[in-house]
Amino acid sequence: MRIDIVSIFPEYFSPLDVSLIGKARARGILDIRLHQLRDWTHDVHRTVDDTPYGGGPGMVMKPEPWGEALDAIAGDVRRLDAEPGEVPGPGAETVPTLIVPTPSGRPFTQADAVRLAREPWLVFACGRYEGIDGRVVEHARTRMPVEELSIGDYVLAGGEAAVLVMIEAIGRLLPGVLGNAVSAVDDSFAPGAMESLLEGPVYTKPPEWRGLRVPDVLLSGNHGVIARWRRDQALRRTAANRPELVAGMGALDERDRRVLD
């Protein structure tokens, strides 16, 4: 998978050099390219924002730099002033999916991560200030799929943190990235993972720590009883922290109702 990220703070993405994603890049599973939006400005101050039409607080990101950046990256062969030697992408016929993190976007979910992990090429546009001029997404939609996505109901200073979250959620699902393929399936929210229940508590050695013992059932070696205990713990934690997920499971059977009583 190829990923392009356009931002006025490309240095924000140094975490993508380490850990799981860093290893995937080193192994050629992920090809992540960072771009400084200001490289597509033409004034001495490398201006990327201006005041909003219609008034209101803050600044809006200008459309011109974004348009030129997406032309250069997405290989818009229709652009007349293409720089010689610009590489359009993995293949002229490949069109990237543009992902724009925004608080007003559709919620980004595990299902989106699974779906986007199948794409050959993603381009992330990191907006700052009050957002990007609406015509950028409008024009981009004429030449590629565009998804405006939110990672949650809180206010960030820009899209960079959201892009890190999405790249980790997507990248870990790529074949060969996770050492133990099973863990991607067992994750909370992974399709089919115990009806999307939150994972219960986990334990490792020592069997007793500061007077606190690991639950005996986990030391019993009885895998059926252990699986049942883990699901009960998952159900209790989900009911406590995300009751709407339990409600979405439909009617609980008698045993599950007893677990929650």
Ligand X SMILES: Nc1ccccc1-c1cnco1
The verdict on 5 binding ligand X (CB under 6 A) reads no
Stretch that binds ligand X, among 7-15, 146-154, 224-232, 249-257 (CB under 6 A): 146-154
Closest approach of Cβ 109 to ligand X, in Å?
12
Helices 160-171 & 19-26, crossing angle to 10 degrees? 70
Q: Which residue number, 165 or 214, has a Cβ lying nearer to ligand X?
A: 165
42-54 burial code (b ≥16 CB/10 A, e <16) = eeeeeebbeeeee
Which residues are tagged catalytic?
103, 130, 172, 187
Stretch that binds ligand X, among 75-83, 144-152, 168-176, 206-214 (CB under 6 A): 144-152
- Tell me phi and psi for residue 211, to 5 degrees: 80, 0
Closest approach of Cβ 60 to ligand X, in Å?
12
Q: Which residue number, 65 or 159, has a Cβ lying nearer to ligand X?
A: 159
70-105 burial code (b ≥16 CB/10 A, e <16) = bbbbbbbeeeeeeeeeeebbeeeeebbbbbbbbbeb
Q: Taking CB under 6 A as the rule, which mask of x and - marks residues 64-103 in contact with ligand X?
A: -------------------------------------xxx
Amino acid at 78: R
Write out the residues near ligand X by the rule CB under 6 A. 101-103, 127, 150-152, 155-156, 158-159, 162
